[in-house]
Structure 1
Amino acid sequence: MRYRLLSALVASAAIVTDAAPAASSYDYIVVGSGPGGGPLAANLARAGYSTLLIEAGGDEGDNPTYTDIGNFNEAANDELTRWDFWVKHSDDPVRDLKFKHTTWDTGDGTFYVGLDPPADAKLLGIQYPRAAVLGGCAMHNAGVCSLPADDDWNIIVNKTGDTSWSAENMRKYLKKIEKNEYLPAGDEAHGYDGWLATSAADNSWAKNDSLPGTRMLKKMAELTGQDPNDAVNLVNRDILEAGDNVDETTSFYNMVTHADSKGKRSSPNNYIRATLADPAKYPLTVKLQTLVTRVLFDEATLKAGSTPRAIGVEVMEGASLYRADPKHVDGTKGPVSQILATREVIVAGGAFNSPQILKLSGIGPAAELTKFNISVVKDLPGVGENLGDNYEGSLLALGAAPVQSGLITLLFRTPSAPTKKRNIFTWCGAFSFEGFWPGFPTYHGPTQYTCAMVHMAPKSQTGSVRLVSADPQDKPDINFRFFEKRGDEDLHELVEGANLLRKAWQAAGEPVLPFDELHPCPSSSGAAAAAAAGKEEEEEESCTDAAQAEFFKTQAYSHHATSTCAIGGDDDKMAVLDSKFRVRGVEGLRVVDASAFPVVPGAFPSCPTMMLSAKAAEDILADAKKAE
């Protein structure tokens, strides 16, 4: 497959222009405007502190590609904002080259995606798109809003002793940011006055028993221990519900998105813009198309050998300066300047860029920094390590006729899960989703049907983000090391999930059946053929459980990277942050984004990161009051 690669620079609308230059000093500087940094900067300014928010991209808050949540595939592909990271899934290049959507640069302005590249094509790797735009990745994602398991919050309590991270306490931050538009006002588990709109789909389709989707829905209920006759009601269950044993509850849910009831995306972009436009004239300045090259430290503290103190940032100004930007032109640089912070610098560049910025600033594994002649400010071996993500995979098939159905959202536990907690988040519908590559997804025709799966609580979290040079325009080397630890267990759980969903598909009936499964079990194979015949899986070489596991091992994908600047306890040498987001061993510097989570937080980290941001604002403002 070939895809066009644009090289022309495209100007984006900006809410801040050179006509209103940044001042030379602020109380706070926040680097990155995504789910962590964007709301934090707005909250600090609303508290009366002069705050500079720096974003490497532009502002697309008026662009329907981004504002209409239904355009998320187009948004993620849009070169106007896209940053392409080409990642590895393992240390084995042979294994990685089995990934069917491996991407190559052909040298003629196009990408080749596949396993048989043209001669002289340059290997790029596995695409992992991020968004350089005001609002960050919350501007190009599908907007799914779900919560981590309680244990994902409580692990921070266990590591640090800070009870403010308890799941019970963290709920208040959801209530603080949420503007719920799908439940009657008064539900104590939700918020109704926040800045983040949440909405849910209309699942009235499930009342129609004649639909193939409804028949599959009831079969899924049967296979997961739910009442098939109650499925019509269960599909409207609140996925953000509170209560005992929620994480151990297998159930259908209504998919909630951070969008309003009219389908307009709700993201940090909205909150930032509202803060700038507020008649109260909050002291927020936004500086767009500006690449932060490093954090600055007080030279006196460095010379004296005392605790280093962050005092500002160095920036390079201009569009498309970072080499992850497909619009970047080789050799392009911008003017470099320095901006000071009288209180703190807060890095919120995400799981890839936050550790890169720290390392470029002299904070990270000493041996790695020394390799690139970067002066070591603080030896922190955990910076850029502990990279984690959920494993994602899908069942994809073509029906004999289109599958009439709405979206089925199901969280369930497979038999071999190591705890009582559910481990698979699946959503099924007449769509195609097989991962990421330039031009994704592939449209397989009107009869396509997919159950996409997110495997939660991966047992291996051994990936890394490491420098390739001291040049801040370079992309880092990113390796997720999927399935490196206890991988066989995670793969078995994915196969169990696939087998259950495949059985449920056989309830679709006429005119949909038979399904022509494309993966992980092509229809000629034993598992798919046996399921179609209503029999137990046949142990044929072409699609045993082992063959399905191999498929997921080589074709799993992800897009929820976290944990590269993890919070940890005083006794953890790999901890980068304390429980208040402060970078260990230095002063005046914090990291507030998904990289702070010690483990991957549930199935989708966007809303949890916005909750984390609200907590960070509370912690930072409390420290500011103490210092006054």
Structure 2
Amino acid sequence: MRYRMLSLALSAAAVRAAATTYDYIVVGSGPGGGPLAAELARAGFSTLLLEAGGDEGDNPTYADLMNFNEAANDEATRWDFWVKHSDDPERELKFEHTVYDTGDGTFHIGPDPPEGAKHLGIQYPRAAVLGGCAMHNAAVCTLPADDDWNIIVNKTGDTSWEADNMRKYLKKMERVQYLAAGNPDRGYDGWLATSVGDTSWAKNNSNPQTRIAKKVAELTGQDPENVASLVGTDILAKADKMDEKNSFYNMAQHMDSQGKRNSPNNYVRATIADPAKYPLTLQLHTLVTRVLFDEATVGEGKTPRAIGVEVMEGPSLYGADPKHVKGTKGPVSQILAKREVIVAGGAFNSPQILKLSGVGPADELKKFGIPVVKDLPGVGENLGDNYEGSLLALGQAPVEAGLMTLLFRTPSAPDKKRNIFTWCGAFSFEGFWPGFPTDHGPTQYTCAIVHMQPKSQTGTVKLVSANPQDTPDINFRFFDKHGDQDLKELVEAADILREAIHAAGPPVQPLVEQHPCKQTLNCTFEEKKEYFKTQAYSHHATSTCAIGGDDDKFAVLDSKFRVRGVAGLRVVDASAFPVVPGAFPSCPTMMLSVKAAEDIIAEAKGQK
């Protein structure tokens, strides 16, 4: 078979022939790629799973969920993307945790950098490791609003995306640890354990956290006298009009009952170790540099066909890796796929790989001398994320209780759906920077705020060169459209929570707010709005290879994850979502992965 090499700079001596051809090649082992590769292999298809990082599944830093902050800071797996939140350089410098490279191997965080320091931007850490970002996150497992699934039905006409149908993928992959057997909507023998925390603190009416919860209940239309029961509500339960209900929840996490992280890492390793000898091959420390195409299929009026990938082998080859030494390269080879190449690199790397392969906006590709295989203007566009912020205060004594989790609607939300996910407790979370979070001492109290359904998704992932080791230029363009409305909703959320935390009573009171109001009981609406505009952060990027309809020129994928206008190539990860799915995309992306496997296997068996 002939193939098209899209790297004119590579000499023939630098390329060695692939030793093996697989049915499927899956690029990336995170929530999108890991489950998909395991499912394909279990269906009998020879599958190669490529991962740029290593395997830390037995490392307590990753295996014990309580260490998630340490995991996200660990240079062993961390990829640092330095992103922008806007096109305004002055606004970017106002971010209190913006990062500078001092030149001596250290970072400077915040304003007033030392002379000669290089401004890097806002840290957006990703995980280069078997299991992807599901190995360094807080493992929160929630579902999107029904409409976040149904939007795909509306765009494509594919009813398999209806919310009721999508729940079956949660059931298929879940091994619930906290419910008695027999719930027809939940799974008990899947590969992903789910557990919840202890909410017994709410039975103690003298506990400051209980007093805060009762005030929250009053402010959000719940029964304050029933808080002890309400905080144990199952966040993964199925109920009518759930997305319109203000409610406390017990936060579910993808971990087992012993606090051990569960992720695609577990599923991939279990599939490889299974006595059934499923045909899954895992190749670590392998950076995919581009997708290969059959030369005979590339050209005007033809449908290009993906037939494999080009890879560079070795550790720390990507520029986002803090251990990367510029100029370091590894041996380059090609690996072929008989059926398909499936890209699952995430919202930053999937569009980069497509563009490096000649699939993307033609003008951008030509700028870097990349031959155009398929002009797809939507690749790298539509980048979106939730807006995140927090209400942080310091008390006179610790609030010694577990987390309080709540989803609710603010007064000015444009429809009946709740728009805020929050969790409150004695912790600090103010975004990401090297060494995060700041420990404000034992009396710190935070309500972390996630604003769902952002009304602006105009961010971009752009190439900076044709070098696959270079990180792309990433700009989220926060609040670019309808920003005033989203900011108003964030302020309203903080105002509700502020009123609630001041019900803590002795010995915690008085609580001294650190932000958004700085050491005052209140501040003006404009001050609070400005705080969220300049200090909002995020870590749930999606939608840069979005599924869309035939009439949408920016649609990258069809409803079966196939790259439009290209054969043998799909994208299966969070970049496929047209909109940000709910508050936390980890479990929804795993569900998407299991659905993709079902679609691909059905299609493959139909071709036999």
- Specify the TM-score bucket, using the shorter chain as the normaliser: over 0.9
Q: CA deviation at 1:571?
A: 0.4
1:517 maps to what in 2?
513
2:566 maps to what in 1?
586
User: How many Å separate the matches in 1 of 2:346 and 2:598?
Assistant: 20
SS at match of 2:342: strand
1:79 maps to what in 2?
75
User: How many Å separate the matches in 2 of 1:184 and 1:523?
Assistant: 47
Instruction: Identify the range of structure 1 (590-599 vs 504-513) with the bigger mean alpha-carbon deviation.
Output: 504-513
Aligned match for 2:231, one of 223, 235, 238: 235
Letter in 2 for 1:82: R
User: How many Å separate the matches in 2 of 1:324 and 1:59?
Assistant: 18
**1:451-493 deviation per Cα after TM superposition (whole angstroms, max 9, x unaligned):** 0000000000000000000000000000000000000000000
2:543 maps to what in 1?
563
Q: CA deviation at 1:24?
A: 2.1
User: How many Å separate the matches in 2 of 1:375 and 1:344?
Assistant: 21
* Superposition map of 1:431-446 within 5 A: 431-446=427-442
SS at match of 1:134: coil
**1:82-113 deviation per Cα after TM superposition (whole angstroms, max 9, x unaligned):** 00000000000110110000000000010110
Alignment check: 8 A CA contact 1:22 1:285 kept: no
Letter in 2 for 1:556: A
User: How many Å separate the matches in 2 of 1:149 and 1:25?
Assistant: 41
SS at match of 2:225: helix
**1:398-452 deviation per Cα after TM superposition (whole angstroms, max 9, x unaligned):** 0011112210000000000001000000000000000000000000000000000
Q: CA deviation at 1:518?
A: 0.5
* Superposition map of 1:589-608 within 5 A: 589-608=569-588
Letter in 2 for 1:487: G
Letter in 2 for 1:509: G
Letter in 2 for 1:389: D
1:147 maps to what in 2?
143
SS at match of 1:308: coil
2:192 maps to what in 1?
196
**1:301-320 deviation per Cα after TM superposition (whole angstroms, max 9, x unaligned):** 11574210000000000000
Alignment check: 8 A CA contact 2:384 2:543 kept: yes
Root-mean-square deviation (Å): 0.9
SS at match of 1:428: strand
User: How many Å separate the matches in 2 of 1:352 and 1:46?
Assistant: 29
User: How many Å separate the matches in 2 of 1:57 and 1:22?
Assistant: 21
User: How many Å separate the matches in 1 of 2:177 and 2:67?
Assistant: 21
User: How many Å separate the matches in 2 of 1:285 and 1:484?
Assistant: 44
1:615 maps to what in 2?
595
User: How many Å separate the matches in 2 of 1:548 and 1:270?
Assistant: 43
**1:308-343 deviation per Cα after TM superposition (whole angstroms, max 9, x unaligned):** 000000000000000000000111000000000000
**1:505-541 deviation per Cα after TM superposition (whole angstroms, max 9, x unaligned):** 11111111111110000223xxx25xxxxxxxxxxxx
User: How many Å separate the matches in 2 of 1:239 and 1:99?
Assistant: 33
1:627 maps to what in 2?
607
Letter in 2 for 1:119: E
Matched, 1:115 2:95: no
Matched, 1:424 2:417: no
User: How many Å separate the matches in 2 of 1:104 and 1:111?
Assistant: 6
* Superposition map of 1:347-358 within 5 A: 347-358=343-354
Matched, 1:48 2:28: no
SS at match of 1:576: coil
User: How many Å separate the matches in 1 of 2:192 and 2:349?
Assistant: 25
1:10 maps to what in 2?
none
State the identity %: 79
Alignment check: 8 A CA contact 1:406 1:429 kept: yes
Count, aligned residues: 592
SS at match of 2:397: coil
User: How many Å separate the matches in 1 of 2:511 and 2:455?
Assistant: 33
User: How many Å separate the matches in 2 of 1:233 and 1:266?
Assistant: 27
1:160 maps to what in 2?
156
Aligned match for 1:507, one of 503, 509, 514: 503
Alignment check: 8 A CA contact 1:22 1:287 kept: no
The TM-score, its normalising length taken from structure 2, stands at 0.97
Alignment check: 8 A CA contact 2:55 2:130 kept: yes
User: How many Å separate the matches in 2 of 1:61 and 1:281?
Assistant: 20
| Unmatched segments (≥5 aa) in structure 2 | 1-16
**1:182-209 deviation per Cα after TM superposition (whole angstroms, max 9, x unaligned):** 1111111211111000000011111011
Letter in 1 for 2:562: R
2:24 maps to what in 1?
28
Aligned match for 1:205, one of 201, 206, 224: 201
| Unmatched segments (≥5 aa) in structure 1 | 1-20, 530-542
Runs of at least 4 residues off by over 6 Å: none
User: How many Å separate the matches in 1 of 2:65 and 2:186?
Assistant: 22
Aligned match for 2:304, one of 292, 308, 313: 308
Alignment check: 8 A CA contact 2:299 2:373 kept: no
SS at match of 1:123: strand
The TM-score, its normalising length taken from structure 1, stands at 0.94
Alignment check: 8 A CA contact 1:577 1:583 kept: yes
Q: CA deviation at 1:141?
A: 0.1
Q: 1:218 to 1:338 in 2, by over 3 A?
A: same
SS at match of 1:300: helix
SS at match of 2:282: strand
1:458 maps to what in 2?
454
